Chains A and B, each alone.
Chain A
Amino acid sequence: MAERNSAVRDATGDNLISRARTEGATDEGGLAFRKQKRSRWSMGGHSNAVLGFLSPVVILVLWEIAVPLGLLDGRFFPPPHAIAGTFWKMVKSGQLFSDVYVSLYRIILGFLAGAIPGLIIGLSMGLFKPVRWLLRPIISATYPIPKLALMPLIILMFGFGETQKVITIALGTFFMVLINTMAGVLNLDKIYLDVAKNYGASRRDFYLRVALPGALPLIFTGLELGMGMALLLIVAAEMTGAVEGIGYRIWAAQAVFKTKEMFVAFILISLLGYIFAEALSTIQRKVIPWKSQ
């Protein structure tokens, strides 16, 4: 296999074609590339996985030992086994699930409310110069304002309800998605716009067949950053006017010095972040099959 792969690698285009024509091994060219890459990684894959697993375990063990030894203050850093106990208690009482449910609902709603307009405006700004000129100053002026600084205003406007939380998250996501989407379109080689124009693409074709797919790689970067922003903002948004949610749990735990619950909330946030990241990269692989990896 190795010999064949290198042949494919070194082959000029013509070589590849004649190979495909004579052997009928059309798909193999592409496959061979991929196999070669994968095998290179998988050689060290096993030991890499062990290493990746080892480091958190070592830290947990050290932590567990350090508390009784007095090296770590157990009031601020309850030992892992105690956190696990609290975790389990919260699972049994159902509190954990309702917290996750409430926060997840706010995050997803806010994320969509921010990402969808961000995407549409970002594409328009990337595609059309007048739109860019019109909106860029506003975006540039409002983007640097920390969304946390806007929260008091949002609370004044919308009170302490769900709207306030959803809007806070939406704002954070909006800018991330918008700026990256616009950059994605602007980074597109100008030739693709020339082709679209020359081949009579309608405005709709420009959006859906050229700008959107072409900008997808950067759009996903924007979505990932937006997701990070949403997780950050949910904690702040649930600081006030909430009775449930992961963010709320952290502040509530602080008020009564229940650090174990606080750590459970940390774990949940981290898990959510991990799940979102994985979900996004799975979707990304599905919708961007054309990216050579």
Chain B
Amino acid sequence: MATDKIVLRGLTKQFEVKDRTITAVKAVDLSIREGEFVCIVGPSGCGKTTLLRILAGLETATAGEIQIMRNDPSKPLNSMVFQEQSIFPWMSVRKNIGFGLKCRGVNRRTIAEVVDRYLSMIGLQKFGEAYPHQLSGGMKQRVSVARAFANDPEILLMDEPFAALDEQNKIMLQEELLKIWEGSRKTVIFITHSIDEALILADRVIIMTSHPGTFKASIEVDLPRPRRIAELRSDSRFNELFTYLWSILREEVRKAKVSEGLTFRDEDEHDDHSRTLGDESKLVL
């Protein structure tokens, strides 16, 4: 299991804003093992979302190299779970979960089987024909997670998928995610601003600094699996790690505060879409 699934070398992303150049991600090096669950934690605007979007193929890097080892060329390389509501309002829950498979031309019967399996995994069997507007926020995000897993990619990219949820829902979804993941052991890169969440989920936590976004530290999370969230909270090792991570992160958060409010435009499909680097939710601790 020691093979490297993802290798990044000197990955850099710069945006041109008017006559200035902003470096969102700077010379990032990273190796992720096959089947590893990695959480990237950092203050708002540290470029972690940009990094994930590059890995997802939604942005192109300015410099550097990405290597992703493929085991099965018939599988998609990656599937992303987005932070904001991203399931298609015009598709039923079933259609949403099966979207990736449909795009890949998988036959209808197989899609139905896979969708059924994930529907029951996320406890939404009875909502298969429902449309997203009939679902709560937590249910929508479950569908979004199921859509990614159902696509059966080589790696899963998750961009603060639970950030917008209330506390109870968040815990339930974290538990469900752990359960699904433990059944598949896919390589996951999960972005979050919550140390708590990172420790609950990850095998390894990477801390990012802001302006420019680089990696500051990489910490192995040696908490045993399967993990139970309620027990973890009172675990002494968990608290030790929490304190340690916070001591590293604290300084970064303070630095990030100073340079907050930087806005720039990204050159994408849509000309009238600007992205604020500081629009990720505030660090909640």
B88 in contact with A193 (CB, 8 Å):
no
B82 in contact with A199 (CB, 8 Å):
no
Q: In whole Å, how far is A212's beta carbon from the nearest beta carbon of chain B?
A: 9
What residues of chain A lie closer than 8 Å to B139, measured between beta carbons? 13, 16-17
What residues of chain A lie closer than 8 Å to B212, measured between beta carbons? none
What residues of chain B lie closer than 8 Å to A129, measured between beta carbons? 269, 271
Partner of A26, one of B85, B127, B133, B268: B127
A interface footprint on B34-46 (CB within 8 Å = 1, 0 otherwise): 0000000000000
Q: Which residue of B lies closest to A20 (CB)?
A: B126
B103 in contact with A201 (CB, 8 Å):
yes
Partner of B138, one of A13, A190, A196, A200: A13
Bound CA span A213–B85, Å: 17
A interface footprint on B199-218 (CB within 8 Å = 1, 0 otherwise): 00000000000000000000
A12 in contact with B84 (CB, 8 Å):
no
A interface footprint on B160-189 (CB within 8 Å = 1, 0 otherwise): 000001101100100000000000000000
Q: Which residue of B lies closest to A128 (CB)?
A: B269
Q: In whole Å, how far is B272's beta carbon from the nearest beta carbon of chain A?
A: 8
Partner of A13, one of B58, B136, B147: B136
A290 in contact with B104 (CB, 8 Å):
no
Determine the interface band of chain A, counting residues with CB < 8 A from chain B.
35 or more
B interface footprint on A96-129 (CB within 8 Å = 1, 0 otherwise): 0000000000000000000000000000000001
A198 in contact with B271 (CB, 8 Å):
no
Partner of A194, one of B82, B103, B123, B168: B82
Tell me if A48 counts as interface (CB < 8 A to partner B): no
Bound CA span A38–B85, Å: 28
Q: In whole Å, how far is B44's beta carbon from the nearest beta carbon of chain A?
A: 19
A290 in contact with B133 (CB, 8 Å):
yes
Query: In the complex where A13-B169, A17-B136 touch, is A198 in contact with B103 (Cβ < 8 A)?
Result: no
Q: In whole Å, how far is A190's beta carbon from the nearest beta carbon of chain B?
A: 5
Query: In the complex where A13-B138, A191-B82, A290-B133 touch, is A200 in contact with B88 (Cβ < 8 A)?
Result: no
Tell me if B78 counts as interface (CB < 8 A to partner A): yes
B interface footprint on A167-200 (CB within 8 Å = 1, 0 otherwise): 0000000000000000000100011111111111
What residues of chain A lie closer than 8 Å to B99, measured between beta carbons? 195, 199, 209
What residues of chain B lie closer than 8 Å to A190, measured between beta carbons? 268-270, 273
B123 in contact with A17 (CB, 8 Å):
yes
Bound CA span A12–B272, Å: 34
Bound CA span A121–B76, Å: 31
A199 in contact with B136 (CB, 8 Å):
no
Q: In whole Å, how far is B141's beta carbon from the nearest beta carbon of chain A?
A: 9
Tell me if A39 counts as interface (CB < 8 A to partner B): no
Query: In the complex where A13-B139, A289-B131 touch, is A195 in contact with B126 (Cβ < 8 A)?
Result: no
Q: In whole Å, how far is A166's beta carbon from the nearest beta carbon of chain B?
A: 33
A198 in contact with B136 (CB, 8 Å):
no
Bound CA span A190–B273, Å: 8
Partner of A216, one of B57, B90, B270: B90
What residues of chain A lie closer than 8 Å to B130, measured between beta carbons? 30
A interface footprint on B80-109 (CB within 8 Å = 1, 0 otherwise): 101011101111000000011011100000
Q: In whole Å, how far is B258's beta carbon from the nearest beta carbon of chain A?
A: 30
A interface footprint on B122-134 (CB within 8 Å = 1, 0 otherwise): 0100110011111
A195 in contact with B136 (CB, 8 Å):
no
Q: Which residue of A lies closest to B58 (CB)?
A: A194
B84 in contact with A191 (CB, 8 Å):
yes
Query: In the complex where A14-B169, A190-B273, A290-B132 touch, is A198 in contact with B90 (Cβ < 8 A)?
Result: no
What residues of chain B lie closer than 8 Å to A55, measured between beta carbons? none
Tell me if A228 counts as interface (CB < 8 A to partner B): no
What residues of chain A lie closer than 8 Å to B268, measured between beta carbons? 190
A198 in contact with B79 (CB, 8 Å):
yes
A210 in contact with B88 (CB, 8 Å):
yes
Tell me if B278 counts as interface (CB < 8 A to partner A): no
What residues of chain B lie closer than 8 Å to A202, measured between beta carbons? 103
Tell me if A62 counts as interface (CB < 8 A to partner B): no
A197 in contact with B131 (CB, 8 Å):
no
Query: In the complex where A12-B166, A14-B169, A24-B126 touch, is A199 in contact with B86 (Cβ < 8 A)?
Result: no
Query: In the complex where A13-B139, A14-B172, A290-B132 touch, is A198 in contact with B78 (Cβ < 8 A)?
Result: yes
Q: In whole Å, how far is B32's beta carbon from the nearest beta carbon of chain A?
A: 19
Tell me if B151 counts as interface (CB < 8 A to partner A): yes
Chain B, 29-78, CB within 8 A of any chain A CB: 56-58, 76, 78
B interface footprint on A199-238 (CB within 8 Å = 1, 0 otherwise): 1111001000110011010000000000000000000000
B123 in contact with A198 (CB, 8 Å):
no
Bound CA span A30–B137, Å: 15
A200 in contact with B104 (CB, 8 Å):
yes
Bound CA span A213–B132, Å: 14
Chosen A-B contacts, 9 in total, with CB atoms closer than 8 Å, are A30-B130, A129-B271, A190-B273, A191-B85, A194-B56, A199-B79, A199-B99, A209-B88, A209-B99
Question: Which are the 3 A-B pairs with shortest beta-carbon distances?
Answer: A13-B136, A26-B126, A292-B133
Q: Other CB < 8 Å A-B pairs besides A16-B136, A16-B139, A190-B268, 11 of them?
A: A12-B166, A14-B172, A30-B130, A30-B134, A193-B270, A195-B82, A195-B99, A198-B58, A200-B100, A290-B131, A290-B133
